């Protein structure tokens, strides 16, 4: 399914949240965990090449998810020294293993025990997110890709059963073609949403707000947790 639409940003209501920073073993990866009051889902962000947990675009989307009652984790996939290596930045196998280690660490966190986990990936990070979600024992309930490179997930695309939303800027022609090809290979619930007028970094007015609103809806629609009332 391919969708083209531009909609007004959703009203984001302020919530009480707790925020903490961590160094995740065994590599000491820096991370920030934000947990809104009464949260029941956890969304882990997987940044792309040349970026980090400090990505202003991912931080903006994370705030939107927090405002809708979802916990978020933004972390560095690589150490500062590793991030200087272009080879490591594009090593999807390495990025996937780092993400797996972080998910394993989260599963041992008593505060987050039982939280269904979704993944929000960007650029090369989206390929790592999809590769991990393809594993039968991943425990991931849904994936959202922003300007991602799903093609770099290779044959893993054919093994993904969880719902996947691909968000691509309408002006990002090369990445759009790659996402259209990837959509055809995905086997589970899927959608490609083209953000009209947006470039690869979604810097145009309203573009990131549309990305955030689409991500909120996707995670809420496929959440395994049924809400019994307002968050």
pTM score: 0.88
Structural domain contains residue 226: no
pLDDT value for 17: 74
User: Per-residue pLDDT for 151 more than 80?
Assistant: yes
Find residue 18's DSSP bridge partners. 35
pLDDT value for 68: 94
Cis omega before residue 186 (within 30°)?
Answer: no
Structural domain contains residue 11: yes
User: Per-residue pLDDT for 143 more than 50?
Assistant: yes
User: Per-residue pLDDT for 224 more than 60?
Assistant: yes
pLDDT value for 57: 85
Structural domain contains residue 229: no
67 pLDDT tier (thresholds 50, 70, 90): very high
Look over the chain and give the mean of its residue pLDDT values, rounded to a whole number.
Answer: 87
Q: Which positions ≥6 away from 64 have C-beta within 8 Å?
A: 10, 12, 209, 212, 213, 215, 216
User: Over pLDDT 90: what percentage of the chain?
Assistant: 61
Structural domain contains residue 227: no
Structural domain contains residue 160: yes
Residue-wise pLDDT tens digits, 72-111: 999 988 877 787 777 777 899 999 999 999 999 998 887 7
pLDDT value for 90: 84
Structural domain contains residue 76: yes
Structural domain contains residue 231: no
pLDDT value for 228: 45
Structural domain contains residue 228: no
∠ CA 69-71-74, nearest 5°, is 140
| Cα 49 to Cα 52: distance, rounded to the nearest angstrom | 8
User: Per-residue pLDDT for 50 more than 70?
Assistant: no
pLDDT value for 227: 56
The whole-number average pLDDT for the span 133-149 is 95
Q: What is the CATH number of the domain that holds 30?
A: 3.40.50.1820
3-state secondary structure (DSSP) of residue 206: coil
| Host domain of residue 71 | 2-221
Query: How many structural domains does the chain have?
Result: 1
> Strands 17-24 and 29-36, how do they pair?
antiparallel
pLDDT value for 56: 82
């Amino acid at each position: 399914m391919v969708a083209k639409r531009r909609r007004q940003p959703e009203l984001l209501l302020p919530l009480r949240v707790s925020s903490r920073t961590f160094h995740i073993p065994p590599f000491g990866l820096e991370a920030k965990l934000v947990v809104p009051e009464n949260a029941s889902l956890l969304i882990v962000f997987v940044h792309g090449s040349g970026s980090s947990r400090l990505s202003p675009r991912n931080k903006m989307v994370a705030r939107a998810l927090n405002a809708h009652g979802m916990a978020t984790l933004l972390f560095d996939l690589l150490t500062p020294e590793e991030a200087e290596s272009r080879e490591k930045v594009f090593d999807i196998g390495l990025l996937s293993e780092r993400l797996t280690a972080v998910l394993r660490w989260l599963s041992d966190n008593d505060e987050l025990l039982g939280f269904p986990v979704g993944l929000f990936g960007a650029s090369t990070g989206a390929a790592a997110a999809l590769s991990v979600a393809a594993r039968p024992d991943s425990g991931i309930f849904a994936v959202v890709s922003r300007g991602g490179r799903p093609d770099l997930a290779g044959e893993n695309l054919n093994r993904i059963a969880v719902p996947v939303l691909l968000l691509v800027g309408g002006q990002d022609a090369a990445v759009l073609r790659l996402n259209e090809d990837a959509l055809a290979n995905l086997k589970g619930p899927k959608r490609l949403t083209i953000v009209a007028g947006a470039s690869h970094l979604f810097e145009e007015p309203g573009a990131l707000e549309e990305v955030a609103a689409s991500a909120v809806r996707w995670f809420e629609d496929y959440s395994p947790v049924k809400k019994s009332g307002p968050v």
